[in-house]
Structure 1
Amino acid sequence: MEWTYLPMPATPIGGRAHKSDKDVARSQGGLHVTITRPEDKRGADFSFNSSSRKSANILVFKSTMTAVDEKGPRPSTQLGDVRDLQDLTLLGYKPELHRNRSMFTLLFQSLAIAAIPYGFGSPLISAVYGGGQLPMFLGWIVVLILDECIALSLSELASRFPTASGPYYWSFQLASPRYRTVLSFITGWCWLIGNWTITLSVNFGFASLVAATVNLYRPDFAVQPWQLLLIFYALCFLTFLVVAFGNKLLPLVDTICAVFTAISILVTLIALSVKADVGRHSPSYTLGHYDTTLSGWGNFSFFIGILPAAYTFSAIGMISSMAEECDKPTTKLPNALSLCVPVGGIAGLFFIIPICATLPDLTDILQAPVGQALPYIFGRVTGSPGGGLALTVLVLIITFFCSISITVAASRCTWAFARDNAIPLASLWAKIDERHGTPIWALVLTTVVQLLLGLINLGSSSAFLAFVSVGVISLAVSYGIPIAISLTYQRREVRAAHWKMPRTVGFAVNIIAVIWIVFELVLFSLPTVLPVTAVSMNYAIVVFVGILALSAVWYGIYARKVYRGPPESDGLTIAS
């Protein structure tokens, strides 16, 4: 083991660092200390001695660290510089994941998760029901502003408490001692279910797009539920293999995705603008056409039409689970969080405006196979199945990248929640594959849950779509709880964060974020079309409440005995 040594204060690095831990044996002037605990028998934890903690950012691993446990040496892991390791210990956790991400790769991952052409294009049929061009264009801008308020609010919290635990950790640290355990448990389950089901929506959306692409050449083809399921399963397994064994390459994958998405948007803009086989609309029609007769909601149709934009950025907070895989997360993570919406939003305009300018008749689009409007629009506007296929393939590739990036984030969320004993068989799901630096069993659980939920589509497409909508609702609730708690206590915990908004701006942004989240819960619980039938009914809120009820039962029966919340911590401040 090679080190560049500059000393720092004696602080145990490793294990879950509750103040009550008594099992740390410090070396007297040495560099290394071993910690052994009943629940974690792995060795090779560390402490350092110095007069100034500020020197921590100079002490860096020159090569790698090898840990030893009862089974012998474990493979080396790049855990980062000592300042990052000590910061994580102050937050109550031991370092286990590779820190191989930068601010830009975190930003690229967040953009890959948003996947603008897929995120907006897959649920595009809702924007058509919602009135067409006006909610597509103006709704996009409105949602960008509102979602940026959420992103800025989360950025402050992520800067103060940068751990993979994310929102449920924030809720625990912000809430009063009387309620924090229960609030963090509720937040955590919303966070977990949101991660699982929003990932499910991406992977199944890929299958639906593939089926709609087939219809470009075979309009009479009616895809069967089992065929969609097989496509969905194939993507899940392929994504699993990439995430499980390609951890070192994942930052590169996110970077490639960002470049490929930009190129695809440019290609789509040129292709639609040049071909325009069904004609080009005037500027006023392109940006302002609004048909309120299609959804049955009348003037409220505009809000139905903004669902695609809201879905696109619904998972912006998921990269908070990557906090333990980047260096200097107190600044790099919030920077990436806050930049995702404006960068993605501007890029999205170059995708949306050409579609608005060349959009076919709205009533024709409503007949698109499998409810996927995008391949149909591409085929009509380019004037040939081949043109539609070429543009749709670009979107499918972006969706595959999205599947990888969002599965990575969801597996980290699962691992973190298991690490705090919040889910059944927690000790299994919290294990790390040291060779690849992957929470392999958490990834297995994330994938298996999707495979099982996919079976629901064989019996009822309405019930399955409810699970898809639950993803947005659950994530919104998990964002809203810590933001609301922070507001309740006058934002006192974020005032000393490394990354923060000015006081007045912060209050205004937080309030707007909470109001928008509440409205999102209503919006994603409504049926797209009136009058409501058994098929068109939106069962998302029923499924969401049902899942929360099951988690409450689990808490009452067993979890309350073992789940005490994440470790207590004052967080990382400018003064720390």
Structure 2
Amino acid sequence: MSKEGKRHGSNASSTSNASVVHSQSDDAGVRALGYAPELSRNRSLFTLTFQLLAMTAIPYGEGAPLINAIYGGGQLTIFVGWIVTMILHQTVALSLAELTSLYPTASGPYYWTYQLLVSANQSRSTVAVVLSYISGWLMLLSNWIVCLSINFGFASILSAVITLHTDGFQLQPWHQLLIFYALCLISLAIVILWNKFLPTLDTIATVWNLATLIIFLVALSASANSGRQSASHALGYYDDSISGWGGFSFFIGIFPPAYTFCAIGLICSMAEEVDKPAIKVPTAMSIIIPISAIAGLMFILPICVTMPPLEDILLAPGGQALPYIIYRVRSTPAGSAALNALLLGTVFFCSTAVTVPASRYIYAFARDNAMPGAALWSKIDPNLGVPVNALYLMTAFQMLLGLISLGNSTAFTAFVSMTTIALQVSYGFPIAISMWYRRSNVQRAQWKLPNVIGWIVNTIAILWISFECVLFTISSITENH
């Protein structure tokens, strides 16, 4: 990918402050990659990790598409699927972490794709440009759609909650669309106007998510209004007749945890806003799934133990299984409403957390003149320090695409499927290219795996990405039909 965009800005003033010295060194690294540093480095390893936790938003990521796990067989699929998916997604996270360390820039996978090809063989520059553009546009579209899926998920969950608590009153599609639009605009305003407070907001989001997990664990376990299942039933019950896919139903059921962690690669676009990005960004990416795997068990175990009959859950309003389960398990409407309010809070924080790296990616892609109107979308507002125009573009795209929901009752599933497939393919390009050239480039990364382990991890990651692309297509077809 040709670096014809903004290059080589002025160095920061010398100072004895260690953080500024690190910032100067990191900015020099950005210049070495062909760019002028324009973003403020106001993130630390902790706030970056908190941002990732807000992005994964376990109660939302696992809960919003939970109906797929019901189609996929029920409790065994939810429990075992969570563990299996965490292990497989960790290989993708580790593979991306190495590449982030090698090229710590907001540009992400398309830049890695280009550099890996050209550094290995200059004669492949044309191929490098083509594959880089394909990867870049897939990543661009998936950035937009992942934000859309989160905001639309909020509207879908809220609609289901209203139906459950109002004796069957159902919001019309245009009502959901207005709720979706409202969250799009709220997230836009927060990310534009509160940039310097966003690390604090991500910290608050982490506290909120942790509190939500603990409250869910206690509240569902204490109520169990639909009864408590035995351990063997709660962790081992499996009904493969619901989806119509027989034994393959299990794989359809791992749709929720796969969606939960599909966007962790977006965090690489924060590389120009943290000091020592070649170490801190990959470190955050490598630890987020082990942390979340443990936290997620606090969420899924009480659901598995107290879950109503699967055939009842299939009738949940709007296909939103989690609000229905909460409503059935909690003994009072007020208790159900409180838990659903906590759930909606995690979606809100997730929306703002994901919007930030998504906008940085648009800025980076435009910075390389890779999209129409590049000069406009790559502009950083001098007062706000954010790519305001890129944020406007992303929000406008979401709002236009959201119109699909007016005529499609399964729009949420479609958005989730599109998001995951596009993201995984864009991740797969640089991982596969790195393997093709025998992982020679990543040996220069500051953060890297031992080579033998790296080969194993990369191989599993590519196989998992390939399987996910097929799986998410089938999952969408299953729910649609």
Q: Does the 8 Å CA contact 1:278/1:380 hold for their aligned counterparts? A: yes
Tell me which residue corresponds to 1:347: 295
- TM (normalized to structure 1)? 0.80
Tell me which residue corresponds to 2:207: 259
Q: How many angstroms does 1:85 deviate by?
A: 1.3
Describe how 1:354-393 pairs up with structure 2 within 5 A: 354-393=302-341
Q: Does the 8 Å CA contact 1:217/1:385 hold for their aligned counterparts? A: yes
Describe how 1:69-218 pairs up with structure 2 within 5 A: 81-175=23-117, 176-218=124-166
Alignment CA distance shift 1:144-1:465 (3 Å)? closer
Q: Does the 8 Å CA contact 2:12/2:24 hold for their aligned counterparts? A: no
- Asked which structure has the greater RCO (Cα within 8 Å, sep 6+), the reply is 2
Tell me which residue corresponds to 2:374: 426
Task: Determine which of 410, 431, 436 is the counterpart of 1:488.
Answer: 436
- TM (normalized to structure 2)? 0.95
Tell me which residue corresponds to 1:334: 282
Aligned AA for 1:389?
Answer: A
Tell me which residue corresponds to 1:402: 350
SS at 1:290 equivalent:
coil
Task: Determine which of 179, 183, 188 is the counterpart of 1:231.
Answer: 179
Does residue 297 of the first structure (1) align with residue 245 of the second (2)? yes
Does residue 245 of the first structure (1) align with residue 212 of the second (2)? no
SS at 1:498 equivalent:
coil
Q: How many angstroms does 1:219 deviate by?
A: 3.3
Q: Does the 8 Å CA contact 2:140/2:362 hold for their aligned counterparts? A: yes
More helix by share: 2
Tell me which residue corresponds to 2:120: none
C-alpha distance in 2, partners of 1:458/1:469? Answer: 18
Aligned AA for 1:416?
Answer: A
Q: Does the 8 Å CA contact 1:80/1:99 hold for their aligned counterparts? A: no
Q: Which moved more, 1:520-529 or 1:164-173?
A: 520-529
Q: Does the 8 Å CA contact 1:272/1:355 hold for their aligned counterparts? A: yes
Tell me which residue corresponds to 2:403: 455
Describe how 1:22-37 pairs up with structure 2 within 5 A: none
Task: Determine which of 273, 292, 295 is the counterpart of 1:325.
Answer: 273
Offset from partner CA, 1:178-203 (integer Å, 9 cap, x none): 41111110010111111110110000
C-alpha distance in 1, partners of 2:186/2:12? Answer: 41
Q: Does the 8 Å CA contact 1:17/1:93 hold for their aligned counterparts? A: no
Aligned AA for 2:84?
Answer: V
Q: How many angstroms does 1:436 deviate by?
A: 1.4
Alignment CA distance shift 1:357-1:98 (3 Å)? same
Aligned AA for 2:219?
Answer: A
Tell me which residue corresponds to 2:10: 45
Q: Does the 8 Å CA contact 2:8/2:34 hold for their aligned counterparts? A: no
Alignment CA distance shift 1:235-1:142 (3 Å)? same
Task: Determine which of 167, 170, 175 is the counterpart of 1:222.
Answer: 170
Tell me which residue corresponds to 1:514: 462
Q: How many angstroms does 1:435 deviate by?
A: 1.1
Q: How many angstroms does 1:111 deviate by?
A: 1.1
Tell me which residue corresponds to 1:560: none
SS at 1:523 equivalent:
helix
Q: Does the 8 Å CA contact 1:376/1:388 hold for their aligned counterparts? A: no
SS at 2:443 equivalent:
coil
Alignment CA distance shift 1:213-1:183 (3 Å)? same
Task: Determine which of 502, 521, 536 is the counterpart of 2:480.
Answer: 536
Task: Specify the structure having the higher radius of gyration (Cα).
Answer: 1
Q: Does the 8 Å CA contact 2:8/2:31 hold for their aligned counterparts? A: no
Q: Does the 8 Å CA contact 1:159/1:330 hold for their aligned counterparts? A: yes
Alpha-carbon RMSD across the aligned residues, in angstroms, is: 2.1
Describe how 1:473-484 pairs up with structure 2 within 5 A: 473-484=421-432
Offset from partner CA, 1:356-407 (integer Å, 9 cap, x none): 0100000000000011111110111112222111111001011100000001
What is the count of residue pairs matched by the alignment? Answer: 475
Q: Does the 8 Å CA contact 1:143/1:310 hold for their aligned counterparts? A: yes
Aligned AA for 2:308?
Answer: P
Q: How many angstroms does 1:17 deviate by?
A: 11
C-alpha distance in 2, partners of 1:355/1:518? Answer: 30
Aligned AA for 1:474?
Answer: A
